[in-house]
Amino acid sequence: MSDSGPSGPPREPPGRGSEMVWSILGTLVAGVLAWGGIGWLLDRWLGTRYLVALGILVGMAGAFYLIIKRYGSG
């Protein structure tokens, strides 16, 4: 890390260490918010009650998929 100055070796892609952790956490939260929000809106619209829970699960699944695709090695 210390030798990657102006003329150092090709830099690592952004997203190491704590930045990666924040990005993963952000994706998880975003998944739950996005699909939970869609489920909540559908619940209000259709008068049902289970779509918000379903949305949260779908969002988590999507977030996990995205995280594994993006940061999973191999």
Partner 1 sequence: MTAATLPLAQREGFQAPGVEIFQWPDIVHIEVAGIDLSINRVVLQMFVVVLLVWGLFYLGFRRPKLVPSGLQNVMESIVDFIRNQIVLEVIGRDGLRFLPYLTTLFVFVFLGNLGGVIPPVFFPLNGRMALPAVMAVCSLLLFISVGVSQQGLFTYFKNALFPPGMPKAIYLLLTPIELVSTFIVRPVTLAIRLLANMIAGHLILSVFFVATGYMLTSMNISTLFGLGALIFSVALIAFELFVAGLQAYVFTILSAVYIAGAMEPEH
Strand blocks (E) in 1-74: none
Query: Of residues 41, 65, 68, 71, which one binds partner 1 by CB under 8 A?
Result: 65
- What is the three-class DSSP state of 7? coil
- Does residue 4 bind partner 1 (CB under 8 A)? yes
Q: Which of 48, 53, 70, 71 binds partner 1 (CB under 8 A)?
A: 70
34 binds partner 1, rule: CB under 8 A: yes
CA 36 – CA 30 distance, rounded (Å) = 9
Q: Which of 53, 20, 60, 25 is nearest to 39 (CA)?
A: 53
Single-letter amino acid code for the residue at 20: M
Interacting residues with partner 1 (CB under 8 A): 1, 4-6, 11, 13-15, 18-19, 22, 25-27, 29-31, 33-35, 37-38, 58-59, 61-63, 65-66, 69-70
